[in-house]
Amino acid sequence: MTKFIVVASSKGGVGKTTTALNLATALMTFGREVIVVDVNLSTPNVSLYLGAPNVPITLHDVLKHDKKITDALYMHTNGLKIIPASQSIRDIGDVDYDRLASLIKNLSGTVDYVIIDTAAGLGEEAISGIKMGDEILVVSTPDMPSVTDALRTIKIAKQHKKKITGVIMTRAYEDELELKKEDVETILETQVIGIIPEDETMRDALQMRSPVTFTHPNAPSSLGYKKLAAKLLGEKYIESVEKKDNTMDTLLKRLGMR
Ligand SMILES: Nc1ncnc2c1ncn2[C@@H]1O[C@H](COP(=O)(O)OP(=O)(O)OP(=O)(O)O)[C@@H](O)[C@H]1O
Ligand SMILES: [Mg+2]
């Protein structure tokens, strides 16, 4: 049965798209089939992060031209399947969100997981994204403004009777300047099920137009995403990080082969 997981937060720039792409990649390493759908229709990023800004058929075309949702399905060279939205400002206009939701539901039965990357804010676009999920992952950085916005997202999701699977704490330094996992859990009354460290490797991956979990599988953030995937699957994750770090190792890492 296909599970529809929404990655949400009303705060912008906290790592929703990064989480959607890397969680998808991590689930793939556990042998699951996944599609990432970009329902951030006003400022879509999924295809940009994967180096495919222009594709022939987007989610917008599916909505406008009566196409099948699978007509807008693409596969990245790393095997990750995505359904991107259009980058063209021309395409931003009236969107029938109910129709969008039912088109996305048509993906049921095609893969194990559909991961839905949503827009920031709490407008119609963001809320309709939240409504598309069986369960919601709330993304927050460990600081008060972000956690406050996460609380709003959780409240809205609960109003729509959605299951909140947990909070993903992204860009964590885990120092005295930021909120601790326990603080976040107390404020949000929700479990933190993943901690993704602040990781400079993320910039290398962006440059390589591929999720860090694929380009640098042993990077701290990649391990965080793989642990999260394991937790969602109820499987054990055994770290296999090589401790040695010689020149060849470093070179392979830079090339994304480690
Ligand atoms: N763990 C991390 N370490 C370092 N940088 C990160 C990490 N997670 C995300 N980033 C960076 O933070 C920036 C914002 O991430 P991202 O686009 O995923 O956020 P978003 O919540 O989807 O934003 P928006 O609300 O605009 O859609 C990106 O430059 C991304 O590379
Ligand atoms: Mg985004």
Average pLDDT, consecutive stretches of 10 residues, N- to C-terminus, the chain (258 residues): 97 98 97 97 94 91 91 95 90 86 96 98 96 97 98 98 98 94 98 98 97 97 98 86 51 59
**Whole-number pLDDT of residue 239:** 72
**Whole-number pLDDT of residue 25:** 98
Sheet containing 192-197: give its strands across.
74-75, 81-83, 34-38, 113-117, 3-8, 135-140, 163-172, 192-197
Q: Is the CB of 12 under 6 A from ligand 1?
A: yes
**Whole-number pLDDT of residue 242:** 44
- Mutating to test ligand 1, I would choose from 16, 18, 223 the residue with most ligand atoms within 8 A of its C-beta, which is 18
The domains found in the chain, sorted by start residue, are 3-254 (3.40.50.300)
What are the percentages of helix, strand and coil residues in the chain, rounded to 5? 40, 15, 45
From the number of C-beta atoms within 10 Å of its C-beta (0-12, 13-18, 19+), residue 75 rates as exposed
Q: Is the CB of 202 under 6 A from ligand 1?
A: yes
Question: How many angstroms separate the CA atoms of 139 and 225, rounded?
Answer: 13
Beta strands 81-83 and 74-75, pairing class: antiparallel
**Whole-number pLDDT of residue 244:** 44
- Mutating to test ligand 1, I would choose from 116, 173, 202, 222 the residue with most ligand atoms within 8 A of its C-beta, which is 202
**Main-chain phi, psi angles of 108, to 5 degrees:** -55, 130
Give residue 46 CA to ligand 2 midpoint distance, Å: 7
pTM, two decimal places? 0.93
Q: Indicate which residue's Cα is closest to atom 31 of ligand 1.
A: 202
**Whole-number pLDDT of residue 248:** 59
**Whole-number pLDDT of residue 238:** 80
What atom in ligand 1 is closest to the CA of residue 117? 22
Give residue 231 CA to ligand 1 midpoint distance, Å: 22
Give residue 242 CA to ligand 2 midpoint distance, Å: 32
Give residue 44 CA to ligand 2 midpoint distance, Å: 7
